[in-house]
Structure formats: structure tokens, C-alpha cells
């Protein structure tokens, strides 16, 4: 049986105890794409950061990153914001109309359901 304290400690360690991303406006539908610097630095990154950079060679939302990597959405937001600040990934905020795009919403819902 997994230790419940370990599952609570892991997100805390991944984000150095932070619960809010550097970029507080980073939304779950924000699109993330690995930059040239990120691709070149991939091998030197640690664990989840390396996984995010590797995963985002194809553009995907923060919510999709969280779902695919099995991360809490808050943890994914913190890590993606950190990577963007270091210029390892590029973030593109959707225009207001994209947030109501049924195909994107359905894709995000399916990925979030995969976490549970």
C-alpha cells in the first residue's frame, strides 16, 4: 500500500514548495512548445522538467502535459512557467475564442480523465 505522506510530499518537492507559478496568468489551456534552447538543453534537465521539454516537441496545452505525465495541474503550471521563464519552452496563450473550441475542450477533458 502506497505511503500517503509520500504522495503529498512529491508535488511539494517538484515545485520547491510553491503553489503558484511564476506567471500567475498561465492558464491550463495555454499552449506549450519546446524551444530550440530547450531541445538543446534536454539532457541537462532533471526528471519532470526533462519530460515536459521532451513531450512538448509537439504543441499541447498545460492540461494535456499534466494529464500525460500524471502531474497535478498546479504542479504542471509551476513547472511549465519555470521552463518558460528559462526559455526552454514557448507558451502561447489562446485567443478568447479558442477557450470555447469544443474539440480542444474535449481533448483536455479526455486527458484529464486519464489521470484518475
Instruction: State pLDDT tens for residues 44-70.
Output: 998 889 999 999 999 999 999 999 998
Work out how many domains the chain is built from and give that number.
1
User: Does residue 38 lie within any of the structural domains?
Assistant: yes
User: Does residue 55 lie within any of the structural domains?
Assistant: yes
What does the pLDDT read at residue 100?
Answer: 65
User: Does residue 11 lie within any of the structural domains?
Assistant: no
What does the pLDDT read at residue 59?
Answer: 94
What does the pLDDT read at residue 1?
Answer: 45
Q: Give 98 or 6, the one with higher predicted confidence.
A: 98
User: Does residue 45 lie within any of the structural domains?
Assistant: yes
Specify the pTM.
0.71
In what helix (H) or strand (E) does residue 50 lie, and over which residues does it extend? Answer: helix 47-55
User: Does residue 17 lie within any of the structural domains?
Assistant: no
User: Does residue 12 lie within any of the structural domains?
Assistant: no
107/116 Cα distance (integer angstroms): 15
User: Does residue 93 lie within any of the structural domains?
Assistant: yes
Instruction: State pLDDT tens for residues 76-111.
Output: 999 999 999 999 999 998 765 555 677 777 777 777
Domain that holds residue 82: 31-114
Amino acid at each position: 500500500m502506497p505511503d500517503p505522506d509520500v504522495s503529498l510530499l512529491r508535488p511539494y518537492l517538484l515545485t520547491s514548495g510553491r503553489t503558484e507559478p511564476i506567471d500567475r496568468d498561465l492558464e491550463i489551456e495555454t499552449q506549450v512548445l519546446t524551444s530550440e534552447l530547450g531541445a538543446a538543453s534536454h539532457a541537462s534537465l532533471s526528471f519532470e522538467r526533462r519530460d515536459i521539454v521532451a513531450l512538448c516537441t509537439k504543441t499541447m496545452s498545460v492540461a494535456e502535459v499534466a494529464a500525460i505525465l500524471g502531474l497535478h495541474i498546479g504542479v504542471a503550471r509551476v513547472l511549465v512557467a519555470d521552463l518558460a521563464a528559462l526559455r526552454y519552452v514557448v507558451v502561447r496563450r489562446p485567443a478568447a475564442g479558442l477557450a470555447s473550441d469544443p474539440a480542444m475542450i474535449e481533448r483536455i477533458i479526455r486527458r484529464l480523465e486519464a489521470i484518475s
